[in-house]
Amino acid sequence: MNTEKSLLIINGGSSSIRFAFYRVTGAAFTLLLKGKLHNIGNNTTEPVLTTNTSDKPKNLHVGENTYEHAAQFLVEWLENQQEFPQVSAIGHRIVHGMEQTKPQEITPELLAYLKTISPYDPEHLPEEIKLIELFSKRHSALKQVACFDTAFHSNMPAVAKRLPIPRRFSGKGLHRYGFHGISYAYLMEELERLAGSEVANAKVILAHLGNGASLAAVKEGRCLDTSMGFTPASGVMMGTRSGDLDPGVAWYMMQFEKLSPKEFNHLVNHESGLLGVSETSSDMQELMQLQATDHRAAEAIALFCYQIKKHIGSFAAVLGGVDTLVFSGGIGENIPQVRSRICEDLGFLGIGLDEERNQKNGAIISGVAGKVTVRVIATNEELMIARLVSQVLN
């Protein structure tokens, strides 16, 4: 019996779309092609397509640089790849699933539900729905599967989910959800593969640090808390997102700076974080190069590391200690100086780095004397989505 199938994975963000083709043979997943369409929605430049099979990024002439135009171009480009005719299903990362707790095939009913909850995540859901509908219109026979970022956090304790606002709003879905769940699910599977189930079931802090950044506290395989809450804009500061803010900031901005709700939402999602503090860039690598001569870049880096350090401390309190700290994401995996600054002065928790290993981006970067094992694990959301889609199909 031939159990081989091919999957197309779509990981849609607010300004980029990652994709990957996988061949699935039994329990084995073979990557055939992966890439990213980024710079979507930038008014001054065109979208850029990069793949693992080409050394040179490709600037796309899509006319108006909107998500809709870019998505249309990408779907047509994917259709022309030699891997596409063998695809039996498409897996989508859905950032906000509200009460959805497991991956499932996308039906008209599920699609209608996603449309009703779009106001809860206006930065991601409308674009993700457009991609689903575009594939459905052009390839109605292909199954599509939704994999929800929020599912990993769905069994958090009630005290971690609750918002300190009038109780009547909880019935309308206003509580903490948590995001980056697909990445966290992958990291936990990798941790178990690398170190065994005893380590994976102990007290683990996961730090997914990239343009979007968050942390999660996991014990016995269950997420007990996470830094993001009602929306992906909350928690620690990120590339362009503010993270947590005093609610009075919103009042001030709307009352005295005359920002509309839409303008304020744009401010905290696209103009804040590393970009807002540095006034230069949202890219940590660029800021690292500038910090010696630009105090704004140095202050942005310092604030980022300070906030991550605070969350590690608070999550250690939630867990009652920590056994393993995992760094992941573009920053967490690739920038040793950031890891060093985050872990500095955390010796009281048993966290200490071996700087030689750290500078080489080693798999384990903790020092011999440290009680906590500090790991660097490259995340792979697309592979995790492929695994989840395969489970649904089977």
Residues labelled as active-site residues: 149
Those residues whose C-beta lies under 8 Å from the C-beta of residue 295, and which sit 6 or more positions away, are: none
Contact criterion met (CB below 8 Å) for 252 and 244 = no
Write out the two tokens for 348.
């009281």
Question: Cα Rg for the chain, rounded, in angstroms?
Answer: 21
Q: List the Cα angle 181/113/124 in 5-degree steps.
A: 50
Contact criterion met (CB below 8 Å) for 149 and 182 = yes
Residue 223 CB: number of other CB atoms within 10 A?
23
CA dihedral over 51, 53, 55, 60, signed as positive or negative: negative
Q: What are phi and psi of 271, to 5 degrees?
A: -120, 5
Contact criterion met (CB below 8 Å) for 16 and 37 = yes
Contact criterion met (CB below 8 Å) for 14 and 25 = no
**Cα separation, 343 vs 350, whole angstroms:** 10
**Cα separation, 320 vs 122, whole angstroms:** 36
Lay out the sheet containing 48-51: strands in order across. Answer: 58-59, 48-51, 28-38, 16-25, 5-12, 87-94, 143-148, 104-105
Contact criterion met (CB below 8 Å) for 215 and 183 = no
Element (H or E) spanning 21, and its range? strand 16-25
